[in-house]
Amino acid sequence: MHPYIRISCFGLIAGCARAALDIIPGATWTATNTGQHVQAHGAGLIEEDGTYYLIGEEKTNGALFQAVNCYSSTNLIEWTFVNQLLTVTDEEGADLGPNRIVERPKIIKNDNTGQYVMWMHIDSTDYRDARVGVATGDSVCGEYVYQESFRPLGFQSRDIGLFKDDDGSAYLLTEDREYGTRIIQLTDDYLDVANVTFGWEYFAESPALIKRGETYFIFGSHLTGWSPNDNIYSTATSLSGPWTDWIEFAPVGSNTFTSQVNYVLPLGTDKAIYMGDRWVSTNLGASTYIWLPLEIDGTTATASLEWYDSWSVDLAAGTWTAGSDGTAYEGEDGELSGGARTINCSRCSGAVAAGYIGGSGDGENEGVVELEVDSADTARVTLNIKYLNGDTSPRYAAVSVNDGEAQTVAFVSTSHLGGSVGSTAVHVDLVQGVNTIRIFGVEGGGWGPDVDQVVVPL
């Protein structure tokens, strides 16, 4: 450790220019306190006093309802598991009972009642119930009481979103497979629906709505099941329309960078963050999150999305920055010990990787990879570990820097990627100069991932 350099960094802010951590879209994101990939699929967000709460679906065991999870973060990057807001009850046939569909939970706060109100899609496995469910809580990620489900104004309702306007009025965005997509105003207590604000005889699944300047933007996807498509948006200066024709916002043919919109988060006063799910239909718990800065302009009423391998966000300033290419260190070039060795991997860089990391857990075959990496600054940064995990279940590895405390990092399955490597994001403290990154087995054993590269931001 180099405490002197660390202290001088804190004393000299300009020397810590790379303090921002990166969002790596599509990577495995390990929660800070579970050692597991974040399970908040089809999520919504709510911010309170500078803390962001990510509320989404647990999908570890597939499509059927397991839990609505809440995670918190102050930087949108390091997520701490807080609570399960709703869990499976043992009552057969009940909305939250066994073998049910509970999707796309969204929470807004009612400033008059002080209540947090969650709306979600409630369904049977054949999707014939097509209802919305409502739950309420006294604190954002505390205990929630499930209230009821119904068809809003009698209409079928599958994918939903929620929108709270500046004046406190709130709206359900709902897709009706017999009609199209509607904006339905909620009652003043947010517990029920009041009236239809606008309807499209056009299907925009997974609707998400934000206002930038005087313009409302609604985003949605086409109907292609778990497969991604070119998502679309429409704009208006009033929620009751007229709305423009739906058009794509990501490069046509990119299938929205292989994702489906789940939420659009306002950033500062005039920007926004696109949040999409990259569903892995055969292994839903391995689905990742495609979060990207959205180029959005409330004056020209336009939105467009570009790809960044990594990017950072300054929530206080309401700005974002593209990530650097970084320096890639090859796993196989590290010091391999304890049984770790170079393996062939046709789609890895150089067609080889470091394999046999971790192992039995009894001290034998505890494969270790150690890499010496350079850092220009003393800073907390996000490493991108490019890896392979051919299992269906996640693999895990311990990662430490300069013999500091190790963190458990998850690596979800890459078996659906046809041999291509996946990414996992690891947030670490580097010192200026040379750092030793050690990747080894977790307590309890089991093989870690095959490590192709460790990318260190510049």
Residue whose Cβ sits closest to ligand NAG: 194
Place of tokens 């499930």: 146
Judged by CB, which is closer to ligand NAG: 194, or 406? 194
| 315 CB-near residues (< 8 Å, 6+ apart) | 50, 74, 75, 76, 267
By CB under 6 A, name the one of 344, 360, 393, 420 that touches ligand NAG. Answer: 344
Smallest separation (angstroms) from ligand NAG to the CB of 457: 31
Closer CB to ligand NAG, residue 115 or residue 400? 115
| Least Cβ distance, residue 200 to ligand NAG (angstroms) | 18
Tokens of 176: 């009706």
Nearest approach in angstroms of CB 346 to ligand NAG is 9
346 lines the binding site for ligand NAG (CB under 6 A): no
Q: Taking the complex as a whole, how short is the minimal distance between the CB of residue 261 and ligand NAG, in angstroms? A: 26
Candidates 239, 244, 305, 247; CA nearest to 271 is 305
The answer for residues whose C-beta is within 8 angstroms of residue 12's C-beta and 6 or more apart is none
306-319 in b/e form (b: 16+ CB < 10 A) is eebbbbbbebeeee
Q: What's the rounded Cα separation, in Å, for the pair 361 and 446?
A: 7
| Contact window for ligand NAG (CB under 6 A) among 159-167, 188-196, 257-265, 298-306 | 188-196
- Segment contacting ligand NAG (CB under 6 A): 184-192, 225-233, 321-329, 433-441? 184-192
Cβ contact 268:317 at 8 Å: yes
According to DSSP, the residues that pair with 357 across neighbouring strands are: none
Distance CA 24, CA 28 (A): 9
Q: Name the segment binding ligand NAG (CB under 6 A); options: 172-180, 185-193, 375-383, 450-458.
A: 185-193
- The least distance separating ligand NAG from the CB of residue 195, rounded to whole angstroms, comes to 4
The one segment of 180-188, 231-239, 265-273, 413-421 that binds ligand NAG by CB under 6 A: 180-188
Out of 74, 187, 227, 319, point to the residue binding ligand NAG (CB under 6 A).
187
- Write the interaction track for ligand NAG spanning residues 192-221; mark x where CB under 6 A is met and - where it is not: --xx--------------------------
The DSSP code sequence of 377-427 is SSEEEEEEEEEE--SSS-EEEEEEETT---EEEEE---GGGTT--EEEEEE
User: Which of 39, 73, 185, 453 is close enough to bind ligand NAG by CB under 6 A?
Assistant: 185
- Rg, the chain, Cα only: 23
Residue with tokens 């647990």: 58
Total residues in contact with ligand NAG, by rule CB under 6 A: 6
Of 36 and 185, the one with the shorter C-beta distance to ligand NAG is 185
Distance CA 332, CA 335 (A): 8
The residue ranges that bind ligand NAG (CB under 6 A) are 185, 187-188, 194-195, 344
